[in-house]
Structure 1
Amino acid sequence: MSWSEWLDFDRAGVDKVPEEAGVFMMHTSMKVHFIGGSNNMRKSLAELLGEPCARNAKRFHYMPTASYGAEKDKMIKEYADNHQGRLPLCMEK
């Protein structure tokens, strides 16, 4: 498994993502906004373009993987472990 290049978080960037299962991470100025995963990354990212917090992200990258649920959970845990238990900006409750 390997990550894509970083893409701009806009319609043109999202349209480059395959309609397959995988995980993705979005950021602005090296601050992670969102860590996600789904069975259709393009659809999920397109929906996030309309979310008030997530649409402020500037770039994202993705990694196709059938085990997106487990991979997403692992990424969120690693993030929280490295940030005193906090979640990414758009995932805080």
Structure 2
Amino acid sequence: MSWSEWLDFDRAGVEQVPEAAGVYLMHASMKVMHIGGSANMRKSLAELLSDPCAGKAKRFHYMIAETYAETKGQLLKDYADKHAGKMPSCMEK
């Protein structure tokens, strides 16, 4: 499995994503804002364009992964381990 190139987080960038299962990572100013996973990445990313927080992301990349829930969980764990237990800014409760 490998990550895509970084794409602009806009309608044109989202249209480049396959309608496939996978995970995605979004950032603005080089700070991770959201880590997501879905059975249909294009649909989920399109919905996030209007999210009050995640919609502020500037770029994203994705990875096709049939086991997207497990992969997302591992990405979140890795992120928390590197950031003193904190989650990405748009995922904090």
Corresponding residue number in structure 1 for 2:66: 66
TM-score scaled by structure 2?
0.99
Q: CA deviation at 1:29?
A: 1.2
TM-score scaled by structure 1?
0.99
Corresponding residue number in structure 1 for 2:6: 6
Secondary structure of 2:42's counterpart equals helix
* Structure 1 gaps, min length 5: none
Corresponding residue number in structure 1 for 2:22: 22
Secondary structure of 2:77's counterpart equals helix
Cα distance between partner residues in 2 of 1:85 and 1:46: 28
Cα distance between partner residues in 1 of 2:84 and 2:4: 28
Corresponding residue number in structure 1 for 2:49: 49
Which deviations, in whole Å up to 9, do the C-alpha atoms of 1:19-65 show, x marking residues without a partner? 00000000011100000000000000000001000011000000001
* Structure 2 gaps, min length 5: none
Give the alignment's Cα RMSD to 1 decimal.
0.3
Residues paired across the two proteins, number = 93
Cα distance between partner residues in 2 of 1:89 and 1:15: 25
Corresponding residue number in structure 1 for 2:80: 80
Cα distance between partner residues in 2 of 1:53 and 1:86: 16
Percent identity over the alignment is: 68
Structure 1: 4+ residue segments shifted above 4 A: none
Corresponding residue number in structure 1 for 2:89: 89
Cα distance between partner residues in 2 of 1:78 and 1:65: 17
Q: CA deviation at 1:69?
A: 0.4
